[in-house]
Structure 1
Amino acid sequence: MRSEQTDGSSPAQSEFEVSKNISSAEQLPVLEAIDSREQVEVRETFQAPSRGFRFWIIFLAICVCLFLSALEYSAVSTALPTIVHDLHGADFVWVASAYALAATALLPATGGIAQVFGRRPCMLLSLGMFALGSALCGAAKNMNWLIAARTVQGAGGGGILAMSSIVISDLVPLRERPIYNSFIGLTWAIAAGIGPVVGGSLAQQGRWRWLFYLNLPLTAVAAALIIIFLNVKTPRGSFREKLARMDWIGNGLVIGSASSVVIALTWGGVRYPWVSVHTLTPLILGLIGLVFFLIYEVNYAKNALIPAALISNRTSLSGYLQTFIAPILTFTVLYFIPIYYQACWGSSPTRSGVLLFGLVLPCGVFLLVTGASIAITKRYRPQLWLGWALYVAGMGVLSTLHVGSTIARATGGLALLGFASAILYASTYYPVLAPLPVAQNAPALALFAFFRSFAGVWGVTLGTAVLQTQLARRLPADFVAQFPGGVSIAYSVIPSIPALEEPFRTEVRAAFADSLKVLWEVMIGVAGLGLLASVLMKGLPLHTQVDEAWGMEEEKGRRPDQGDIELQNQPRY
């Protein structure tokens, strides 16, 4: 695309200015061709708008919502052995996987629901489901009840994550978003930091149910702020018309396929051998189903959950791959380093939560540093490459831990992973959105949240599969024989390991340490895949505009229909 330069501007500037006025389909290849390493600097003036009181209250409400989700998710990791012990359960992996599965299965639909029904109703629905699930978790009488309640809670938690990103993208342009995302990430880091301590403390006192009940008042505060202040434009149309615009076939495919994959990952190596028909059948069918889901969405769906433009350029594709891989590593560490502390060192749940500060404190600091660096340099690739290198190094340090390792070595490895987690959490957002027009923010961010949540499923279940497969080989046979449920039950006796008689105590601790060593070695390979995926992305300019169709309603001088959006003029999702 060339034009005569009559105003003295650089060719790169002209190309970028023209690209703003072309269609979305034409814009993608233009933006993909602009590589920050080769282009002349785009001389574009941009001044951040001032933010009023209502914006900051909305931002506060979003932070409260995310604090809820992160606090609950991270707190369960240290309380899980105690919960499993009290409820006499065996399928402990589903306490985590049910939450992540429900969030994942419904996330692709979140963008469509928000686009058709509006932002505020979708956010309130998510908060309501999260509160209901929390209340049911607190009242659980057995493991089946708890797993079902976690499913409801996960559906709400996933919606909260997606809607928080969508609302921020409606109100803040991408160029200005690094600082806001840093504070959102800091909120998540603070909640993730105190969550294990809160969970461990409540579990140690036999009050783990309050881990879920504490969500209720915070949810009420967040909902009240959303109701009062989140007055954004809403689509018009009847409820029936809006339902007709949803992609029911796509939702059915992704829910069924994701569930099939998680079932296979949960059973493999624990209930059935990895090569058995019980494991391979749901795994293969689930993966094939996900492939068909993508093919259907791109080529046949009239109300597509995933428009083809989202994955048809290499920069967004690289961003999505990195978004999927990074949480696998983070959730693996969050869930299994407390197991190392409790099983190998004999730490209490509270102490294992405190020791996680080695991961969380560096993460909080680097979230702000990363956001500031992107805001100043307008680049995101150097940060991502550094993050992946730190992930490889951090997992390498963890792979050297054994029963007698020092706190300094374990904390050093966690610090490296904290830096890496912060950088990846704050940065994968930008290669996903930079090549896309702002009108596609909602489906793009819903898919972004889907990959991040689905990675949580893989992180927890894959980690559990590796750990239990290794434990089955390494635990003393006489010890495992004491439990009819095998290794699954053996996991639930972690709080009792310090009271075991010798030589069982030393042998069991060594078995856990050696099994976790294999897990960290597997994660080194996963981090290497993330580094390779990051090579695909290009460095593109960050948008300076927002989608005006979803801005806040005017407080004064507003016509009765000014805040509404014609349903028939909206993209179909």
Structure 2
Amino acid sequence: MGRDTESTSIDAGRLEQGLVSDVEWKPGKGEYAVMFTLALISLMVALDATILVSVLPTLAVDLGGSATDAFWAGTSYLLTCAVCQPFIAALSDIFGRKEMLIASVLFFTLGTVICAPIAKDFTVFFVGRSIQGIGGGGIITMGQVIFADIVPLRQRPKYFSLVLAAWALGSVLGPLIGGLFVEHVIWPWCFYINFPFCALGLVLVPIYVKLITVKTSLVSKLARVDWVGGFFFIGGCTSFLVGISSAGVQYEWHSAQALTPMVVGVIGVIVSVVWEIYGAREPFLRPSLFCSASALATYACALFQGFILFCALYYIPFYFTAIKFESPTQSGLDIFPVTCFLLPGSIVISLITTRIGRYRWAIWGGWVVTATGCGLLVLLDADTKTPVWVVILAIFGIGNGMLLTSVNVGIQAVSRVEDAGRAAAMYAFMRTLGMSIGVAIGGTVFQNLMSKKLDELGLPQSIAHNSEAFVKTMSLMDPEDPKRIGSMQAYLAGFHGVSWMITGAALASFAISLIIRRHSMDKSLDSQFTLKGARTLNAPVMPSASTLVRPEGVPQDMMSAGNSLPPIIKNSPFCSRTPSAFDTDSTYAGTKRSQDSHAGTQGYYSHDSDNPEAATAETAITAYYIHPGGRIDTVDILSDQRASSQTASINEVNKPAATDVEINRDWSPEPCFEKTLASGRLPSNMAEHEAVFADLTPAWMPER
């Protein structure tokens, strides 16, 4: 529930027991150790994902490959990094968070060993990069999931900014460090640099990431794994990404070599979704993650954000190399304005979001600023002055910094409490998927527009198919050489095409983000994995009576400081975390301004109209079901007859009548669930009430 007034008194007894609310929560030494560990290995993964940008031309020559091989050297990592993330998150629910994080670091280390000391040709190199991608994807998704386990959502933006900062720093430092190694050492050092991080990760993760898990046998764990769904999903995504990555670069878009894997991939993903809904006993893709338009819109924003950011990180350094003829090291330095403003932007948004408990404004503002920065990239040419491109890159960095935090928080806010870990993992998957698609489609757009411009100028289109290698040749030409001038125009045409593409993606994302509805960030932790020695969260702490503002229709006796129930907000839906509203610990809500007792429970009914005489055939009554911990279910009861009194006793409400009972979903685009008794009347006894609320599960009712 949103806290507009935050004067909270903390009970000393609860503090002694280690019980705190989400607003009071602060990390201890154990949480800080986990955060540092996750930030360290996230820096390693981000560094590795971008360090080859400056190295690809040299790599292609040393391993005896082509420009296409160099392209796949970068794409293979992102591909496997993306497709395995949801399945790894599901495996961590079964085998444990620490175990899957250690396995991910081991995979990453093995892939690094294959790439650097072992690989002597591109075939072996591709194998190593693919294994690295699996490990990197696991590290990314486990970082998201573990944070959702140990940090409440209200505080998550503030502290996850540590990991985001490390990830962003690695993403931008990668091209710079890669350029330094190419110029002064040799390219294998791009992988040797990972070994200290891998060693630290393998030491720190077992020591500090001590999340308590339920002990079960290996056989029972293996039986729980959704092997069928994982096979079709990973296989389908891989096939689709291989097709879309090769289209326009290695094969024509309309060729069988490009279309066949894309079609097979789409079919595989569809089969996996059908299996998850109808066949899987424990689906690794939870349908509840996608049950609202807000969730779908936020996932789309995550995909586009990864798409745009990696397109820029790949092609902005290439612009400085191909158009400004700068060294790989200098081109890496030139992208620093993105880092210098992305990190502060992300951190500032994290602090503000945590403070005010709102995130949509940051998503909308982030897309506006990002679209502006993307559009301004079109102004870059051979004569652009340094202050101009610095400002353009700074605007781009600020926008992406805003999105890194706000989209991540938004996804978890619109999801159920118990889906927090899976939602965080799905965010990581969508963002990484966007990176893979962005690099692939960006390469296609760049090459096609460059080829078109070369053809118009009467220059060979083969230059576009080997654009990285031709940069060195072009730099040695006479500045007045028509071929050099024409080639530079072709390079610019490709860059501007990519800029227009990501600008369109940013504008489309802004339009999509308007669908996202407001949800509360004040959610308690609900994970089966807890950190040893950590303080646990209990129900939201009630402010003192003097600080509470009594909502209309809420009796004064509900506002006492000692009352463990939060104030009722009229006609606002909240999530039920229990299957029944009538267990012995729940509170049943009854009348508008007076209390009634029923089966040891109490509560309130609220007429829609403040005028009691208006409670006629069209009047809706809202029943509130208040659970321990502050969660509230609301049900709109539409009756053809209603007593005109402000006070409606439970017996009056239970009168037989032609009545519909509808779950209130004001915070979603459409009602998610409607239920009418077969007799067409209100439930008149406990059994019928149980029947109405049997389906009132978190899958149907999102938190506000």
**TM value normalised by structure 1:** 0.86
Corresponding residue of 1:458 = 437
Corresponding residue of 2:102 = 124
SS of the residue corresponding to residue 531 of structure 2 reads coil
CA contact (8 A) 1:318 1:431 kept: no
Q: Which amino acid aligns with 2:59?
A: I
CA distance in 2, matches of 1:370, 1:345: 34
Deviation sequence 1:228-277 (CA, Å, 0-9, x none) = 12221123222222112111121112222212222222222233222223
Q: Which has the higher strand share?
A: 2
Q: Which has the higher helix share?
A: 1
Matched, 1:77 2:53: yes
Corresponding residue of 1:58 = 34
- More displaced stretch, 371-380 vs 401-410: 401-410
Displacement, 1:306? 1.4
Corresponding residue of 2:173 = 194
Displacement, 1:410? 2.3
Matched, 1:165 2:141: no
| Residue 498 (structure 1) aligned to one of 447, 466, 475 | 475
Change (3 A) 1:369 1:554: closer
SS of the residue corresponding to residue 155 of structure 2 reads helix
Change (3 A) 1:327 1:389: same
Corresponding residue of 2:492 = 513
SS of the residue corresponding to residue 265 of structure 2 reads helix
Corresponding residue of 2:384 = 405
Displacement, 1:478? 8.0
Deviation sequence 1:284-314 (CA, Å, 0-9, x none) = 3323433333333233322211111100022
Matched, 1:146 2:125: yes
Of structures 1 and 2, the larger Rg is shown by 2
CA distance in 1, matches of 2:104, 2:246: 30
Change (3 A) 1:244 1:500: farther
Deviation sequence 1:370-422 (CA, Å, 0-9, x none) = 10110111100111101111121111111122222222332222111101111
CA contact (8 A) 1:297 1:306 kept: yes
CA distance in 2, matches of 1:277, 1:548: 46
Corresponding residue of 1:208 = 187
Corresponding residue of 1:68 = 44
Q: Which amino acid aligns with 2:474?
A: I
- The residue correspondences of 1:376-387 to structure 2 (distance < 5 A) are 376-387=355-366
CA distance in 2, matches of 1:314, 1:282: 29
CA distance in 2, matches of 1:80, 1:543: 46
CA contact (8 A) 1:318 1:432 kept: no
Corresponding residue of 1:342 = 321
Deviation sequence 1:1-56 (CA, Å, 0-9, x none) = xxxxxxxxxxxxxxx5xxxxxxxxxxxxxxxxxxx8xxx95879544334332222
CA contact (8 A) 1:76 1:196 kept: yes
CA distance in 1, matches of 2:104, 2:292: 31
Displacement, 1:332? 0.2
CA contact (8 A) 2:86 2:426 kept: yes
SS of the residue corresponding to residue 127 of structure 1 reads helix
CA contact (8 A) 1:117 1:235 kept: no
Corresponding residue of 2:369 = 390
Deviation sequence 1:121-165 (CA, Å, 0-9, x none) = 100000011111112221322222222211010100000001011
Change (3 A) 1:363 1:506: same
Deviation sequence 1:458-492 (CA, Å, 0-9, x none) = 010010111111222233698647x6xx7433433
Corresponding residue of 1:97 = 75
CA distance in 2, matches of 1:295, 1:406: 54
CA distance in 1, matches of 2:233, 2:460: 38
Corresponding residue of 1:302 = 281
CA distance in 2, matches of 1:220, 1:535: 44
CA contact (8 A) 2:25 2:155 kept: no
- Structure 2: gaps of 5 or more residues: 9-20, 535-697, 699-704
CA contact (8 A) 2:30 2:533 kept: no
CA contact (8 A) 1:81 1:494 kept: no
CA distance in 2, matches of 1:435, 1:473: 45
Q: Which amino acid aligns with 2:308?
A: L
- The residue correspondences of 1:206-355 to structure 2 (distance < 5 A) are 206-355=185-334
Corresponding residue of 2:422 = 443
Q: Which amino acid aligns with 1:494?
A: V
- Structure 1: gaps of 5 or more residues: 1-15, 17-35, 556-570
CA distance in 2, matches of 1:406, 1:88: 38
Tell me the percent identity: 26
CA distance in 2, matches of 1:324, 1:551: 30
CA distance in 2, matches of 1:272, 1:50: 54
Displacement, 1:554? 4.4
Q: Which amino acid aligns with 1:348?
A: S
Tell me the C-alpha RMSD between the 2 structures. 2.2
Matched, 1:432 2:411: yes
| Residue 337 (structure 2) aligned to one of 340, 347, 358 | 358
Corresponding residue of 1:115 = 93
**How many aligned residue pairs are there?**
516
- More displaced stretch, 139-148 vs 174-183: 139-148
Corresponding residue of 1:13 = none
CA contact (8 A) 2:243 2:261 kept: yes
CA distance in 2, matches of 1:453, 1:360: 19
SS of the residue corresponding to residue 493 of structure 1 reads helix
Corresponding residue of 2:631 = none
**TM value normalised by structure 2:** 0.70
CA distance in 2, matches of 1:336, 1:497: 18
CA contact (8 A) 2:245 2:437 kept: no
SS of the residue corresponding to residue 77 of structure 1 reads coil
